[in-house]
């Protein structure tokens, strides 16, 4: 019995690092893009519109040549111009305030524009 408990404990200790690294290999929850698409859906439903979008970055301010992430999610768009959801890594070489604006269109011509800004020093 002691040997079985010892073996079980050892197996748990060896499996623990694998369970931690599995989260990086296979995400356990929705991605940022998926969450933004859900938020855009709720925005469209609550606003009574046929198309809506959300754009976010992981920083409000950053330094020159320091990468940052831009994410977007939309609902109701036809996929022309921008994919319904996605992400992009951006690196800028010059200080300033950068505005990122995305517009999503429906088949009928309705549109939604969303934007975000990042200050670079």
- DSSP-derived secondary structure for 35-101: HHHHHHHHHHHHHT-S-EEEEEES-SEE-TT--EEEEEEEES--SSSS-SEEEEEE--SS-EEEEEE
Measured CA to CA, the distance from residue 107 to residue 96 in angstroms comes to 36
Q: Residue 53 forms beta bridges with which residues?
A: 74
Rg, Å, the chain Cα set: 21
Question: What pLDDT, on the 0 to 100 scale, is given for residue 107?
Answer: 86
Query: Where do the domains of the chain lie?
Result: 30-120
Residues 69, 87: Cα–Cα separation, whole Å: 7
Tokens of 74: 């939309």
Three-state secondary structure call for residue 116: strand
Q: What is the CATH number of domain 30-120?
A: 2.60.40
- pLDDT digit string (tens) for the chain, length 121 residues: 766 665 656 555 565 555 555 555 666 789 999 999 999 999 999 999 999 999 999 999 999 999 999 999 999 988 777 889 999 999 999 999 999 999 999 888 889 999 999 999 9
pTM equals: 0.74
């Amino acid at each position: 019995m002691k040997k079985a408990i010892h073996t079980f404990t050892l197996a748990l200790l060896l499996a623990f690092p694998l369970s931690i690294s599995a989260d990086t290999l296979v995400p356990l929850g929705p991605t940022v893009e998926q969450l933004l698409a859900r938020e855009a859906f709720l925005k469209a439903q609550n606003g009574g519109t046929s198309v809506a979008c959300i754009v976010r970055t992981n920083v409000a301010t950053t330094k020159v040549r320091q990468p940052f992430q831009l994410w977007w999610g939309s609902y109701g768009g036809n996929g022309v111009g921008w994919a319904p959801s996605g992400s992009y890594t951006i690196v800028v070489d010059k200080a300033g305030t950068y505005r990122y604006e995305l517009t999503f269109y429906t088949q009928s011509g309705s549109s939604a524009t969303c934007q975000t800004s990042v200050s670079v020093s």
